[in-house]
Amino acid sequence: MGVSNKIPDGLDEVDVVIAGGGTAGCVVAARLSDADPELSILVVERGHDNYEDPTVTNPLFFLENILDLGVPNPRMMVYQGQPEPNIGNRTMVVPAGSILGGGSSINMLTYTRPQREDLDGWSMPQWSADAILPYLNKFETYHGPSSSASIHGSEGPIQVSNSSYGPTQLQGDFIRAAADLGIPEDADLQDLDSNHAVQKNLRYISPDGIRQDSAHAYLHPRLQDGKHPNLHVVVEHEVVRVLSEKDKAVGVEIRPNPEHGNGAEVQTVKAKKMVVVSAGTLGTPLLLERSGVGGKDVLDKAGVEVVSDLPGVGEEFQDHNTMLLSYYTSLLPNETYDDILNGQTTLQQMLEEKHEMLAWNSAEITSKVRPTDEEIDAMGLSEGARLLWDRDFKNNKNKPVATISTANGFIAPIADEDKDWRFLSTGSFLLYPYARGHVHITGPAIEDKIDLKTGILTDPEGFDRAMAMWLYKKQREVVRRLDVFRGEYAPLHPPFNGDSDAACKRYDGPLPPDVEDIKYTKEDDEVLSTWITNNLAQNWHGIGTCKMAASTESGGVVDGDLGVYGIKSLKVADLSVVAHNVAANTASMALAIGEKAADIFAEELKVSS
Ligand SMILES: Cc1cc2nc3c(=O)[nH]c(=O)nc-3n(C[C@H](O)[C@H](O)[C@H](O)COP(=O)(O)OP(=O)(O)OC[C@H]3O[C@@H](n4cnc5c(N)ncnc54)[C@H](O)[C@@H]3O)c2cc1C
């Protein structure tokens, strides 16, 4: 069977159910089906099929997924947060892909990888960096520069390349400007060990310009080759809960997703061998809790019977906290996507014209950076923040603090008076915030309100705020040194006093090569700190809500084999299992988890992948 938006008649029992056909879920399904084509597998995905959908395959459509372009977007869903006092009572809205392929079908396509220390830091020997590198390699065919053949993959289904559009003059300009500030270029910053450098961005785009999502790379070929007759995919359906008998998962309850209007009947499908939950960092803990797997307090309040008391479920939400800033530039019209934002064209029109820019993700630069010892000394850190720096970063030169990345274009509709400008935006994010959030159910039904707090800026030591202030200043200094720089777009920057050296300004040409760093006064720092409270945001890279750990005492939800504690035959395979943050945009981690999970499950099911 291929992809269907109905549960086929008679399909009331399979060997394995996979709840969520996202980035990791598609990998698990495909590899298990390869391991044993006799194994009957059902993938249930709440979003629609993505097969040859031009809004997926053409990379530039990512713009519709991150900006409000006034076009309905059925590919996305949002998890609605609660007001958070530490960020000025703002409510964070956390978006996620809701489509076959999940995040990999909608994301911004930037390819980066974690640091060695990130993976070793999970303290799970079977998930150490040495154990995971083969899986990071397994999913990719890498077309970028590398110092060693063994660091990247050459036979995986996901192509990683520079794409067929670009690069623009921004790459060389940014690399020179960063070098002027002591941040050198590293051709392959994604080798797990390099740090404090900038890199020409590589992308999940094939050399001929097609997005590389996990459904097209893994699932669709197998659904069409006639060799995987027992691989079933049902889209536009939600898994309501996992069903268990005594201490064993035995199936799932599924209903049509009301957003797609396919009826309302709830159906049960039995899983003879295994249920794999792969609904993403926010979807997975909510599904487990609806199934009675979670902290007793949460479940009692929500009116759900406890099947396994696991207080770690939904806790320890972590993300990369981000700031988005825009600058006036002298970039050329064909070097930004701004014509879409200033009303000159639309993505639909570009599709009709088969415009070559559709193959682009606009992100030309990525980086991993950290403050120097002198910069740390000058920050005036609190005693607690200084202890954290000394313990976790000081002597650990492999550990960055932040990423500065770029997008060639503005980040909202462009006002009439700015229509002739071309913009550059930076997305700068903290890689290891200490703040933690949570996500829980408040009732038994899928449509019950959720209790989501991202926790941004709640770390008592103020470490995250101090690093965010450093990051704002650092990214601005790099951009000020670009040849294409023509000033800060003030409404998106902190409202520094007009007399201050830090005030936003416009220029007719580049700043002189010997330009000095901005000198921030105490008052400027206060303005910046308040701006951070009101602007630091989630960054789409959530992890940690069903943490993998050696025991439940330390908040563990799954063991090293991804089995949920206290319930047999119930597994989790997605980013919710990641125990501590990674210095990477997170798709690489999700794909590697999918690959490794498939090997673990195949062994348990006594089939070889
Ligand atoms: C806007 C955006 C931009 C991003 N940009 C980048 C980038 O440039 N580079 C990068 O590396 N990473 C990026 N990421 C992050 C990355 O894409 C995600 O971290 C990764 O895809 C998550 O993989 P996953 O398998 O854990 O979950 P997902 O891919 O989110 O998969 C979960 C799936 O489960 C489905 N689901 C949820 N609940 C249910 C249910 N009850 N029943 C059935 N199905 C359900 C969802 O629809 C989804 O398809 C971005 C993410 C977003 C949202």
Residue ranges of the domains in the chain? 1-109+211-317+439-455+543-609, 179-208+321-430+458-535
pLDDT at position 607 over 80: no
Query: Is the beta carbon of 575 within 6 A of some atom in ligand 1?
Result: yes
- Ligand 1 in reach of 430 Cβ (< 6 A): no
pLDDT category of residue 302 using cuts at 50, 70 and 90: very high
Same topology, domains 1-109+211-317+439-455+543-609 and 179-208+321-430+458-535? Answer is: no
CB 450 within 8 A of CB 440: yes
**C-alpha of residue 104 to centroid of ligand 1, in Å:** 6
Q: Which CATH superfamily does the domain covering 1-109+211-317+439-455+543-609 fall into?
A: FAD/NAD(P)-binding domain (3.50.50.60)
Q: How far is the CA of 468 from the centre of ligand 1 (A)?
A: 25
Nearest atom (ligand 1) to Cα of 22: 31
For residues 472 and 488, give the distance between their C-alpha atoms in angstroms, rounded to a whole number. Answer: 12
Ligand 1 pocket member 362 (CB < 6 A): no
Cβ(24) – ligand 1 distance below 6 Å: yes
Q: Give the confidence band of 233 by pLDDT, cuts at 50, 70, 90.
A: very high
Give the active site residues: 541
pLDDT digits (tens, 9 = 90+) for 33-87: 999 999 999 999 999 999 999 999 999 999 999 998 888 899 999 999 999 999 9
Q: At what angle do helices 23-35 and 587-604 cross, to 10 degrees?
A: 30
At 313, the amino acid letter reads: V
Q: Is 13 helix (H, G, I), strand (E, B) or coil?
A: strand
Q: How far apart are CA 183 and CA 372, in angstroms?
A: 11
Ligand 1 atom at minimal distance to the Cα of residue 101:
49
431-458 pLDDT per residue, tens: 999 999 999 999 999 999 999 999 999 9
Among 100, 540, 546, name the best residue to mutate to test ligand 1's pocket (greatest count of ligand atoms within 8 A of Cβ): 540
- Site to probe by mutation for ligand 1, drawn from 28, 46, 189, 266 as the one with most ligand atoms within 8 Å of Cβ, is 46
- State the average pLDDT over residues 384-395: 98
Give the nearest ligand 1 atom to 65 CA: 1
Query: Structure tokens of 177?
Result: 């400007």
If one residue of 18, 23, 98 were mutated to test the ligand 1 pocket, choosing by the most ligand atoms within 8 A of its CB, it would be 23
Is 540 marked as binding a ligand?
yes
Within the chain, how many helices (H) and strands (E) appear? 18, 24
CA–centroid distance, 395 to ligand 1, in Å, is 34
Peptide bond into 167 cis (omega under 30): yes
Nearest by Cα to 145 from 212, 218, 194: 194
Position 608 scores a pLDDT of 58
Class of residue 500 by CB neighbours under 10 A (exposed 0-12, middle 13-18, buried 19+):
middle
Judge if the beta carbon of residue 539 lies within 6 A of ligand 1: no
Give the mean model confidence (pLDDT) for residues 280-294. Answer: 98
Q: Which residues contact 530 (CB under 8 A, 6 or more apart)?
A: 494
3-state secondary structure 276-331: EECCHHHHHHHHHHHCCEECHHHHHHHCCCCCEECCCCCCCEECCCEEEEEEEECC
pLDDT at residue 565 tops 60: yes
**563 CA → ligand 1 middle, Å:** 21
Cα–Cα distance, 315 to 455 (Å, whole number): 11
Task: State pLDDT tens for residues 329-365.
Answer: 999 999 999 999 999 999 999 999 999 999 999 999 9
Neighbours of 417 (CB within 10 A): 7
The answer on whether 216 is annotated among ligand-binding residues is no
| Model confidence at 609: pLDDT above 60 | no
Average pLDDT over residues 480-509: 98
The CATH fold assigned to 179-208+321-430+458-535 is: Glucose Oxidase; domain 3 (3.30.560)
CA-nearest of 494, 485, 470, 471 to 425 is 485
**pLDDT score of 165:** 97
Ligand 1 in reach of 108 Cβ (< 6 A): yes
Q: Residue written as tokens 């060799």? A: 227
Percent of the chain at pLDDT > 70 equals 100
Where do the DSSP E strands lie in 356-474? 365-368, 402-407, 422-430, 438-441, 450-453
**pLDDT at site 1:** 63
